Structure 1
Amino acid sequence: MTSTEQRLAAIRGDVPARRHNARTIAALTGNPGCTRRAVLDSAGVDKPKLAERIGFPARFGQSRFAISRGNAFEAQVKSDGGTELLRLVAERVGADPEEPATWTDLNAADPTDRYDRSRDLLTTAGDAPALFDHPLLSLEVAGQRVYLEPDLVAARLAGRWHVVEIKSFPVVDGQADPAKVAAAAIQSAVYVLALRELLAAAGHDPELVSPDVVLVCPRDFANQPVASLVDVRRQLLVLRRQLDRMARIDALLAGVPEDFTADPTAEPAALVAALRTVEARYAPDCLAACELAFFCRDEARGQTGALGRPVREALGGVATVADVLALADGVRPAEPGQAEAAALLRAAARLRAEALAQSSSGPGAFAQQPAGAGALAQQPAGAGAFAQPSAGAGALAGRSA
């Protein structure tokens, strides 16, 4: 065991490292600038147990109903040897839907050699179209080999390989929930990267794996499947950057105190004190992706970052809400580098005061509200209205089969 491995083991305590999967790897890209999360995930810390221990339990996850619904829809789509699924995928990627394709169910393989069999079959596939059900891929995350299981890999359709993801959220009138599409896109990018690395290791061109993932969902709340293409090139870039950052864990650990611990069995007060010594980068969208988000939100109360990345970036270095209000009211001068943000805040406060003054002269819902920049203080510190929608979650209109 290297010194780095020993230190990571000491950070997580006397517990086994928590293994990553496609969902947790995808979540790593949600806030790549957060040192706290990068260190904890590199050490394999059990973040749900840690969050519960310090009094901020995680409040998200898939419901049993959603899992059952997803499994039922996937079984329906893959019935009859994947005949309907082949047609959907082939039409979407521009292949001949009438050309026969082989179907290999790797989910039924012996678990002890499933990865080896998946690797051999995927890397020796001929020129004929082939569908591989639940192959087992792998990816290295912070020095750990993680095994991943995409829903389907379609090989040699229109000369390319495609990852196929089957999700049970609906596409209504050609549109799907942008947040769910974004989550599916980054999760699929994990599979695309793993498949590219597998082919490259076998001497094949990794670009044979298309960055266009085939997303299969039910249409209009019915069980009729519809296929869409989702371009995950941007997600692949973000994913590579974050994995490279975690691979350089020594650089991250250099800024972490030697006695830092995230052992879920330690005293809560000691854990809280230790966590505060490692920089976090909280944003409202962390609530949907990180088990420690409620702790970090509480820690960031009163900080402009808690209002979302667009607000933090627009304010350009104004760290606290109190400073924002002081600059808007003109009660303190701007520091170097804050002049532009201060001018925008004073202009916004003036316009708001004028609008409220005009509304007070006649009937209106705003007549009772106080004028002045101080009214901004009534906005909650974690206001989700400021959170920017996930990029890459574009509408599926015009792309559905």
Structure 2
Amino acid sequence: MRGPEVPAKALDARALAALAANPGCRRRAILDGAGVDKAALASALGSPSAFGQSQFALTRGNAFEARVKADGGAEILKLVHERLDPAAVPPREAAVPDLSAVGPEGRTARTALALREVTGAPGTWTLLDHPMLALDVAGSPAFLEPDAVVVHPDGSWTVVEIKSFPMLDGSADPAKVGAAARQAAVYVLALEEVAARLEPAPRVRHRVLLVCPKDFSSLPTASAVDVRRQRAVTARQLARLTRVQDIADSLPEGTCFAPDRPAGELTSAVESVPAMYAPECLAACELAFHCRDRSRTVGAVTTLGRPVRAELGGLTTVDDVLSAARGESGDPDDPAVAALRRAAALRQEALAAAGREVAPCR
């Protein structure tokens, strides 16, 4: 579906968190499941994406991560000990197993083997640098690569998320922390699948360690973040996702999303899959500009946001809403229709009291 010569774009935790936040979007589910490069697809459709990190941010983040993981991850282990497990023995020495292998499947198997070995010999600290985990998403495997996983002396596991945004006076931007928590929750779910295959199953901690620069320096500091709520929401949303095969079976024969296809053919292929656009997509999906333009063209109320869409019930377009408010359509017993007509009446009363000519809702 992505084209015979086009390599698959791997799903990462950031994409899975965004996918779980909008489980009704079949378009994103099939494109991500098929490994389509949505940024290239958006450019081919004439709506290039501004989504993603700048090269400067990536360089800064990589430099900070390298500093945090220097000396065998001593700084990470120190922060984990201080913030999450102060009762354990101090991490003066720690094992850092080699996780290299061929391909994502090989790295996933090597990570599982390393976790089994170190968990079966408790008493020491272990740092897994960029392990590879697998998670089933709508019938397709997604390979995930957390920044680090720490195995405590008691055998429990902790996800470590390293970000380059600063913690100022001990706190960071709540929106960025929330995004990091949702991303870490995906890693926790994947780790739980690995743990479930071991006997006895080790404990995967639901408090992750978020490591960031302190104030305006490059010195690392950390905060423990409880991701139980994000984990529960992500697990529930991923379980509701329609299987990729079911979506593919409903598409026209020969549907292909290769960016080198003619513009008209590519547009028809994309439009054959229903989307569920919301303004939040602008910060999470490369196709957001294209979907927003299409939603505005048909006057979909989803362009106004999910809360508004939820309040309007069966009214799916702006024209339907205005028609119901004017009393031209809609069931008067429908709470949404009744509320719209009441709002229109109040508007007319307010304009009349102000001595202004009353204009119809439009």
TM-score tier by shorter-chain length is 0.7 to 0.9
* Counterpart amino acid of residue 132 in structure 1: L
- 1:166 and 2:157 correspond: no
Taking the aligned partners of 2:32 and 2:332, their CA distance within structure 1 comes to 37
Taking the aligned partners of 1:116 and 1:353, their CA distance within structure 2 comes to 67
One of 271, 275, 278 as aligned partner of 1:280: 275
Taking the aligned partners of 1:258 and 1:237, their CA distance within structure 2 comes to 37
Taking the aligned partners of 2:146 and 2:52, their CA distance within structure 1 comes to 19
Taking the aligned partners of 1:245 and 1:133, their CA distance within structure 2 comes to 32
Taking the aligned partners of 1:187 and 1:165, their CA distance within structure 2 comes to 9
* Counterpart amino acid of residue 278 in structure 1: V
The CA RMSD over aligned residues, in Å, is 2.9
Deviations 1:13-65 (A, max 9, x none): 22333222233223321311111111222222222222111111211111111
Taking the aligned partners of 2:318 and 2:174, their CA distance within structure 1 comes to 30
For structure 2, the residue ranges without an aligned partner over 5 or more in a row are: none
**Residue in 2 that maps onto 1:29:** 20
**Residue in 1 that maps onto 2:231:** 236
One of 211, 218, 223 as aligned partner of 1:216: 211
* SS of equivalent residue, structure 2 residue 49: coil
Indicate how the Cα distance of structure 1 residues 256 and 178 shifts in structure 2: closer, same or farther if over 3 A, else same: farther
- 1:322 and 2:319 correspond: yes
One of 73, 90, 98 as aligned partner of 2:64: 73
Q: CA deviation at 1:172?
A: 2.8
Deviations 1:240-296 (A, max 9, x none): 345445573333334333343323222111221232222111101111211211111
Q: What is the percent sequence identity of the aligned residues?
A: 50
Deviations 1:198-244 (A, max 9, x none): 222233425x0012211112233333433222222333334334544
Taking the aligned partners of 1:37 and 1:82, their CA distance within structure 2 comes to 36
**TM-score normalised by L of structure 2:** 0.85
- 1:13 and 2:8 correspond: no
**Residue in 1 that maps onto 2:301:** 304
**Residue in 1 that maps onto 2:259:** 264
The range that moved more, 189-198 or 250-259, is 250-259
Aligned pair count reads 353
One of 106, 117, 121 as aligned partner of 2:114: 121
Whether the 8 Å CA contact 1:262–1:271 is kept in 2: the answer is: yes
Whether the 8 Å CA contact 2:139–2:244 is kept in 1: the answer is: no
* SS of equivalent residue, structure 2 residue 21: coil
Whether the 8 Å CA contact 1:105–1:134 is kept in 2: the answer is: no
Taking the aligned partners of 2:33 and 2:210, their CA distance within structure 1 comes to 30
Q: CA deviation at 1:151?
A: 1.5
Taking the aligned partners of 1:308 and 1:211, their CA distance within structure 2 comes to 31
Q: CA deviation at 1:122?
A: 1.4
Taking the aligned partners of 1:265 and 1:348, their CA distance within structure 2 comes to 49
* SS of equivalent residue, structure 2 residue 48: coil
**Residue in 2 that maps onto 1:64:** 55
Whether the 8 Å CA contact 2:351–2:358 is kept in 1: the answer is: yes
Q: CA deviation at 1:78?
A: 2.8
* SS of equivalent residue, structure 1 residue 139: strand
Taking the aligned partners of 2:46 and 2:164, their CA distance within structure 1 comes to 33
Q: CA deviation at 1:304?
A: 0.7
- 1:51 and 2:48 correspond: no
One of 326, 330, 345 as aligned partner of 1:334: 330
Taking the aligned partners of 1:80 and 1:341, their CA distance within structure 2 comes to 61
**Residue in 1 that maps onto 2:126:** 130
Indicate how the Cα distance of structure 1 residues 314 and 142 shifts in structure 2: closer, same or farther if over 3 A, else same: closer
* SS of equivalent residue, structure 1 residue 85: helix
**TM-score normalised by L of structure 1:** 0.77
For structure 1, the residue ranges without an aligned partner over 5 or more in a row are: 1-10, 362-366, 378-401
